[in-house]
């Protein structure tokens, strides 16, 4: 069966366009609605926290039924449908309920789509970065385009734009073909819990949980932090876009990097640069040069580590457990790690200076680096 590169890339493009809306602009929107730093942290934690539950539930269903694409279509529909609830009422409790409902389905889509993509690319897994980079391009286009719209029409238009993107994601899911998965006999006798309990798998999950927890203050308060330092909203949007431009460039060269370096080496290098990046943001954000330099490191930190993670899940969990593997990775890293980082940053942002907050995220990356050094063995991966 011919790989539908265009349709796979298009889904990534529009799915990550929603990230281009939520990451830079959603918390400023919540701030405009009167929510406090604590409430913003809690709502972001809730948005990410559903990744702990939803991907695992739908991952098990997908692997048991082989209906991964149907799950993507169903979840993308309900994500768009429930998001409409933001138009009808305001207040913290209502926002919390709608955030939980829509994100429960929205967060279930991507892990299953990652598994679907790797199944389509079964004979050419190294092509993953070329497909995934369109998600980064979608993020850039979204950040720049939405930033322009908000400057001209106001941030209160954000829910309407988000609804349009979510509806379009659902329509795209209807155009993607299913792919049949073939399991090797050796994989059929290997239970998923046996894979999870292996030291290398546990270390892998711990590393990415810490890395995503370290992103908490960045996702929740980076835009607000820069605006409080005197940068314009347009500049903040450009900094988010710059970070993802660097990610696109790195993804274009990932095939060569994977051929030259082991996954362990790439992972450790990206974590080391993450430590530097968080310290730069925390201590030197009053300098445009350091702000831009820190954002340029995003490709070498998040970009490389994410591609490494997807390849490790593909290698660890095999064809039979791809849905559960991608779901577990998403729930532990982006779900639990992201929720923990967002929740803690919301509680402590007003109590400590940003220098202390981002130094703490750098410390979390130091621990992740130690885990990857002592527990990750490259010969297990390549």
* Domains of the chain, residue spans: 5-181+190-380
50-66 pLDDT per residue, tens = 888 888 888 888 878 88
pLDDT-derived band of residue 181, with 50, 70 and 90 as boundaries? Answer: low
Q: What is the mean pLDDT of residues 291-300?
A: 95
**How does residue 150 score in pLDDT terms, banded at 50, 70 and 90?**
confident
pLDDT at 190: 56
The pair phi, psi for residue 2, each rounded to 5°, is -70, 135
Q: Are 23 and 162 in contact (CB under 8 A)?
A: no
Higher pLDDT, 184 or 42: 42
pLDDT in tens, 227-247: 899 998 778 888 988 998 998
Contacts of 128 (CB under 8 A, 6+ apart): 117, 118, 121, 307, 310, 311
**pTM over cut 0.95:** no
| CA separation for the pair 258, 56 (Å, rounded) | 29
Determine the pLDDT at residue 369. 96
Domain 5-181+190-380 = CATH 1.20.1250.20: yes
**pLDDT tens sequence across 13-29:** 999 999 888 878 898 89
Q: What is the pLDDT of residue 27?
A: 86
d(CA 258, CA 44): 34
Q: How confident is the model at residue 172 (pLDDT cuts 50, 70, 90)?
A: very high
Nearest of 217, 368, 228, 375 to residue 305 by alpha carbon = 368
Query: Which pLDDT does position 185 carry in this prediction?
Result: 41
Is residue 350 classed as helix, strand or coil in its secondary structure?
coil
Check pLDDT > 90 for residue 153. Answer: no
Kindly tell me if the per-residue pLDDT of 380 is higher than 60. Answer: no
* CA neighbor of 254 nearest in space, from 296, 309, 314, 200: 309
pLDDT digits (tens, 9 = 90+) for 302-360: 999 989 998 888 888 876 787 788 888 888 998 889 889 988 988 899 899 999 999 99
Q: Where are the alpha helices (DSSP H) in the chain?
A: 5-21, 27-32, 37-65, 68-83, 92-120, 128-153, 158-173, 185-188, 192-196, 199-214, 216-228, 233-252, 254-260, 263-284, 288-296, 298, 304-317, 322-330, 338-348, 354-375
Residues 198, 1 contacting (CB under 8 angstroms): no
Q: Which two tokens stand for residue 176?
A: 């993607």
Give the span between the Cα atoms of 358 and 363, in whole angstroms: 9
pLDDT at residue number 378: 54
Q: How far is CA 316 from CA 193, 200, 204, 381, in A?
A: 12, 9, 10, 8
Higher pLDDT, 148 or 71: 71
- Close Cβ partners of 269 (under 8 Å, ≥ 6 residues apart): 261, 300, 304
How does DSSP classify residue 80?
Answer: H
In the chain, what percentage of residues exceed pLDDT 70? 95
* Predicted pLDDT at 226: 93
Measured N-to-C along each axis, helices 338-348 and 199-214 cross at an angle, to the nearest 10 degrees, of: 30
What tens digit of pLDDT does each residue of 64-116 get? 888 889 999 999 999 999 999 999 888 899 999 999 999 999 999 998 898 88
The region of weakest confidence among 102-106, 145-149, 215-219 is 145-149
């Amino acid at each position: 069966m011919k790989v539908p590169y265009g349709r796979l890339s298009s889904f990534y493009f529009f799915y990550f366009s929603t990230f281009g809306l939520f990451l830079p602009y959603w918390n400023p929107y919540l701030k405009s609605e009167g929510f406090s730093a604590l409430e913003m942290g809690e709502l972001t934690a809730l948005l990410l926290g559903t990744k702990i539950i939803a991907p695992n539930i739908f991952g098990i269903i997908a692997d048991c039924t082989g209906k991964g694409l149907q799950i993507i279509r169903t979840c993308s529909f309900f994500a768009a449908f429930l998001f409409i609830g933001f138009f009808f009422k305001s207040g913290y409790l209502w926002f919390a309920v709608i955030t939980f409902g829509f994100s429960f389905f929205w967060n279930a889509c991507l892990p299953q789509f990652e598994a679907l993509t790797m199944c389509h690319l079964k004979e050419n897994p190294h092509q993953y970065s070329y497909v995934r980079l369109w998600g980064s391009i979608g993020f850039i286009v979204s950040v720049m385009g939405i930033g322009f719209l908000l400057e001209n029409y106001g941030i209160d238009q954000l829910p309407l734009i988000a609804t349009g993107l979510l509806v379009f994601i659902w329509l795209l899911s209807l155009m993607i073909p299913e792919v049949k998965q073939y399991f090797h006999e050796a994989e059929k006798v290997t239970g998923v819990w046996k894979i999870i309990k292996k030291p290398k798998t546990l270390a892998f999950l711990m590393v990415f949980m810490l890395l995503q927890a370290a992103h908490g203050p960045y996702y929740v308060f980076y835009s607000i932090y820069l605006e409080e330092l005197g940068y314009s909203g347009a500049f903040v949007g450009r900094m988010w876009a710059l970070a993802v431009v660097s990610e696109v460039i790195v993804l274009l060269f990932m095939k060569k990097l994977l051929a030259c370096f082991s996954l362990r080496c790439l992972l450790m290098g990206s974590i080391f640069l993450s430590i530097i990046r968080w310290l730069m943001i925390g201590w030197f954000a009053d300098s445009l040069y350091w702000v831009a330099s820190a954002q340029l490191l995003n490709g070498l930190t998040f970009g490389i580590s994410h591609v490494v993670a997807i390849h490790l899940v593909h290698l660890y969990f095999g064809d039979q457990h791809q849905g559960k593997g991608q779901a577990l990775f998403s729930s532990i890293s982006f779900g639990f790690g992201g929720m923990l980082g967002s929740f803690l940053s919301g509680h402590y942002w007003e109590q400590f200076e940003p220098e202390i907050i981002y130094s703490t995220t750098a410390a979390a990356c130091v621990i992740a680096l130690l885990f990857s050094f002592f527990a990750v063995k490259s010969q297990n991966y390549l």
